[in-house]
Amino acid sequence: MPGNIGRRLLFGATLLLFLGAAVPTEDKQGLKIPRFVSMRLGEVNLRVGPGQRYPIAWVFTKKDMPVEIIEEFDTWRKIRDWEGTEGWVNHAALGGKRSVIVTGEIRALRRSADPQADPVARVEPGVIGKLLACPAGGDWCQIETADGTRGWVRRGEIWGVYPDEPFP
């Protein structure tokens, strides 16, 4: 019987640790993890571990691409891109500017946050835009493309903002 109690306590402690890992945490600067940021540089090595000695697994080549920080170690950030690719980059390669990437199919950028609003442009999957606004409780976000076109798109049509996240 005492052995069963020990196993139960160990199982309970393990379960708490596991569940705790899924809860958003904060880094030393008080920033939440996970959180979205963007690539500051046009070419960034994605490594299999947090350090220069780890091999390069992938090279990101799109400046301003949104990525999600999912873990931190010293000056290294474990990130995930919109396709699910994960790896480690030095924090200097990342910026706090928020951007999004269009997903799925060609999307209409609308004049206002209304499905009946006139389209101002059509954007293809993979287009990166600057995130301008995502009102709390709303289904729409305003973005600006590289050519300066501004418009509204549904949250579910972009990656780089959480479902219930207000921005700014």
Q: Is residue 34 reached through a cis peptide bond, with omega within 30 degrees of 0 on the bond before it?
A: yes
3-class SS of residue 15: helix
- In this prediction the pTM is 0.80
Provide the token pair at 163.
């479902």
Each residue's pLDDT tens digit, 67-120:
999 999 999 999 999 999 999 999 999 999 999 999 999 999 999 999 999 999
Residue 61's pLDDT is 92
**11: confidence class by pLDDT, cuts 50, 70, 90:** very low
Segment 115-141 shows an average pLDDT of 95
Predicted pLDDT at 31: 83
Q: Quick one: pLDDT band at residue 8, thresholds 50, 70, 90?
A: very low
